[in-house]
Amino acid sequence: MSASNPNPRAEWQKAFEESRLRDVPFQTMSGIPLDPVYGTDDGEFPGQYPYTRGPYASMYRSKLWTMRMFAGFGTAIDTNLRFKEIIRAGGDGLSTAFDMPTLLGLDSDDPMALGEVGRCGVAIDTLADMRDLFSGIDLGNITTSMTINSPAAVLLAMFVAQAESAGVPRAKLGGTLQNDILKEYQAQKEFVFPPRQSMRLVRDTVAFTAAEMPRWHSISISGYHIREAGSTAAEELAFTLGNGFAYVELARQAGLPVDAFAPRLSFFFNAHIDFFEEIAKYRAARRIWARWMKERYGATSERSMQLRFHTQTAGVSLTAQQPEVNLIRTAIEALAGVLGGTQSLHTNSMDEALALPTEKAARLALRTQQVIAYETNVAHVADPLGGSHFVEALTDEMEARAEEIFARIDEMGRGSMLEGCITGIEENWFQGRIADSAYELERAFNRGERIIVGVNRFLEGNEEDSLDILKITNEDEAKQRQRLGQVKRERNESAVLDALDRLAKDAVDPEVNLMPALIDASNVFATVGEMMTTMAGVFGRHVEVPTI
């Protein structure tokens, strides 16, 4: 590391001194002053390639992580109220959860949507819902993350249409689109179009945002769902970064120079309960990404090499039994994310093994982050575990295991990570590995080797469970269907047909970027389902071969 950098500490010092710092005393509770980072003079420092110790020189001394709480349920009006509550409680980023029909590009009045409207997130059918969702919120002044994949281009188009009708130009919009379709086929399983056609839409959103939305993160490459689906930590790391490399190759194929879009990529990892393994995973992720971007993809901009990530505590680690214990699990997982240098964090609520969170449970989850941020002083020192023999060895081991998996993907793609990822999906390779790992974990639990407090040990108190849980009634579903009916009656039908016609024409030509047609269709109140069906008419639909 010191080969290209004769004096790491001096370089770091210079970068640190150029950083703006938060106005708090950086000392222990007892008044011992703390350095911004600890290490030997010739070692790696934060903000230095390959960024094992963090993407920035000053890390949390300049800015704490964003406390980004995921919310969304019922109608857009309900979610809007929850958003405002989050902002009032001190959250500084919004994160939108969409309901299942929206995630699969179906309207609320689709027969397949029965029982699912507004249940796991907010239902968005048209621009009218997008307006309700962000009513009274200045989109130019807050960052908005949207967890959406198959219809990501459609929802981005609606978001841009809404912001511009509220007077906020697209160039001012900051936020993140999940838009990580590869992991849908591998793990999350909310796919609509076949993989290659989906990748065309990803390319279109990447190209569009690179040209017109400089503050927008076009893909949040997500390991979270891969881990939740049952992978190991090393598989989460390798599949996620492997998908990242695939998107880089996709954008390069589309003619975008790597440094023009790579800074807009961000990552999303799980924080599971194995504390040190998670920290090692984040450190290895930064190092691997930097090396591959520089050496394999020829990036020259630092921003292209600096992996930045969002973390969510592990939903699968939560138990329905003695749900209050989930507060403790979540706190430990959140701390791993922070010690691993995350840029933003979502903490799950204690009741999420049972239902979507109540307002009280969601507030407690945010409070968990605030205790870590403001009471523990852990954010004073960057990469506080760097230099630990154990954590460094585990970081190296995570990296080595990930490299083995990359070699396999590269081989499947005959030298292309993009082809390797698509082939691996088509051949069920990723899906099979995840299912194998999930089953192995389950068997360890059943053999009693893996202990889950309140589930296979320490059961006293299980009878007392009586958390108030959030109940979503079918009234929301009926309300949303009525809302959609009303919008459809009031819109200009021939303008909708024209917009969908143009969308179909544009979809046929793979060289055309679909974003302008989608924005125009959004503006005339075409529905998510209409736009997706129009594209499916050209692209076809993906059907997964069921395997156990």
Partner 1 sequence: MAAIRVLVAKVGLDGHDRGVKVVARLLRDAGLEVIYTGLFQTPETVAAAAVDEDVDVIGLSMLSGAHMTLAPLVVQAVRARNSDIPVVVGGIIPNQDVTELLEAGVAACLGPGAPAEEVVQTVITAARGEHRRQAV
- 361 contributes a contact to partner 1 by CB under 8 A: no
Shortest CA distance to 391 belongs to which of 341, 343, 345, 340? 340
CB of 436 to partner 1, least distance (A): 9
CA 83 to each of CA 70, 171, 195, 362: distance values in angstroms, whole numbers, following the listed order: 9, 23, 33, 12
Q: Which is nearer to partner 1, 60 or 430 (CB)?
A: 430
Span interacting with partner 1, options 115-123, 139-147, 206-214, 490-498, rule CB under 8 A: 115-123
Residue 446 binds partner 1, judged by CB under 8 A: yes
Question: Does residue 103 belong to the site contacting partner 1 (CB under 8 A)?
Answer: yes
Using alpha carbons, list the distances in angstroms from residue 157 to 126, 251, 534. 11, 20, 15
Alpha-carbon span 293 to 13, nearest angstrom: 25
- Specify the residue, 49 or 269, whose C-beta has the smaller distance to partner 1: 269
Distance separating alpha carbons of residues 194 and 191, to the nearest angstrom: 8
187 near 275, Cβ under 8 Å? no
Any idea what the Cα angle at residue 424 is, between residues 423 and 425, rounded to 5°? 90
b vs e for 191-202, b when ≥16 Cβ sit within 10 Å of the residue's Cβ?
Answer: bbbbbebbbbbb
Considering beta carbons, is residue 11 or 324 the nearer one to partner 1? 324
Contacts of 438 (CB under 8 A, 6+ apart): 229, 230, 231
Does the footprint of partner 1 cover residue 181 (CB under 8 A)?
Answer: no
Under the binding rule (CB under 8 A), the answer on residue 226 touching partner 1 is: no
Q: Per the omega criterion (within 30 degrees of 0), is the bond before 50 cis? A: yes
Q: Select the residue interacting with partner 1 from 50, 55, 91, 230 (CB under 8 A).
A: 230
Of positions 439, 482, 501, 510, contacts partner 1 by CB under 8 A? 439
Smaller CB distance to partner 1: residue 350 or 496?
Answer: 350
| Beta-carbon contacts of residue 210 (< 8 Å; ≥ 6 apart) | 218, 256, 260, 261, 264
Kindly state whether residue 104 participates in binding partner 1, applying the rule CB under 8 A: yes
- Gap between the Cα atoms of 451 and 274, Å rounded: 12
Q: Which one among 353, 453, 495, 538 touches partner 1, defined by CB under 8 A?
A: 353
Does the footprint of partner 1 cover residue 461 (CB under 8 A)?
A: no
Write the binding mask 365 to 404 for partner 1: x where contact by CB under 8 A, - elsewhere: ----------------------------------------
Which residue type does 222 have?
S
Indicate whether 435 belongs to the interface with partner 1 (CB under 8 A): yes
Question: Given the rule CB under 8 A, which of 111-119, 126-134, 233-241, 360-368 is the region that contacts partner 1?
Answer: 111-119
Which stretch, 16-24, 57-65, 400-408, 441-449, contacts partner 1 (CB under 8 A)? 441-449
**Distance (Å, whole) CA 369 – CA 344:** 10
Q: Contact, 273 vs 329, CB < 8 A?
A: yes
For residue 35, the 8-state DSSP code is -
Number of residues interacting with partner 1: please give it, by CB under 8 A: 46
In the complex, the smallest distance separating the C-beta of residue 406 from partner 1, rounded to whole angstroms, is 24
Does 198 bind partner 1 (CB under 8 A)? Our answer is no
Rounded Cα gap, residues 405 and 433, in angstroms: 11
Give least dist CB 186 to partner 1, A: 11
- Asked if 228 touches partner 1 (CB under 8 A), the answer is yes
Check binding of 358 to partner 1 (CB under 8 A). no
For position 219 contacting partner 1 by CB under 8 A, the verdict is no
Q: Is 546 in the site for partner 1 (CB under 8 A)?
A: yes
Phi, psi (deg, nearest 5) at residue 74: 65, -140
Please say which residue, 276 or 429, places its beta carbon nearer to partner 1.
429
Identity of residue 325: V
Task: Specify whether the CB–CB gap between 279 and 336 falls below 8 A.
Answer: yes
- Indicate the DSSP class of residue 53: T
Residue 55 found at the interface with partner 1 (CB under 8 A): no
For residue 384, what are its two tokens?
A: 């506080």
Residue 190 interacts with partner 1 (CB under 8 A)? yes
User: Radius of gyration over alpha carbons of the chain, in Å?
Assistant: 23
Task: For residue 453, state whether it binds partner 1 (rule: CB under 8 A).
Answer: no
- Which is nearest to 538 in space by CA: 507, 497, 506? 507
- Residue listed under structure tokens 């209050």: 324
Among 15, 34, 166, 455, binds partner 1 (CB under 8 A): 455
Least Cβ distance, residue 232 to partner 1 (angstroms)? 13
**DSSP code of 500?**
H
* Residue 102 or 266 having the CB closest to partner 1: 102
Q: Is 109 in the site for partner 1 (CB under 8 A)?
A: no
176 is a site residue for partner 1 (CB under 8 A): no
What tokens does 272 get?
């599971």
- CB atoms inside a 10 Å sphere around CB 112: 11
Determine the Cα–Cα distance for residues 23 and 270; give it in Å rounded to an integer.
31
Residue numbers 305-324 binding partner 1 by CB under 8 A? 316, 319-321
Could you say whether residue 427 binds partner 1 (CB under 8 A)?
no
Task: Tell me if 442 contacts partner 1 by CB under 8 A.
Answer: yes
x/- map, 129-168, partner 1, by CB under 8 A: ----------------------------------------
Binding site for partner 1 (CB under 8 A): 100-101, 103-104, 106, 112-116, 119-120, 188-190, 228-230, 316, 319-321, 353-356, 434-435, 438-439, 442, 445-446, 452, 455-456, 465, 469, 472, 474, 543-548
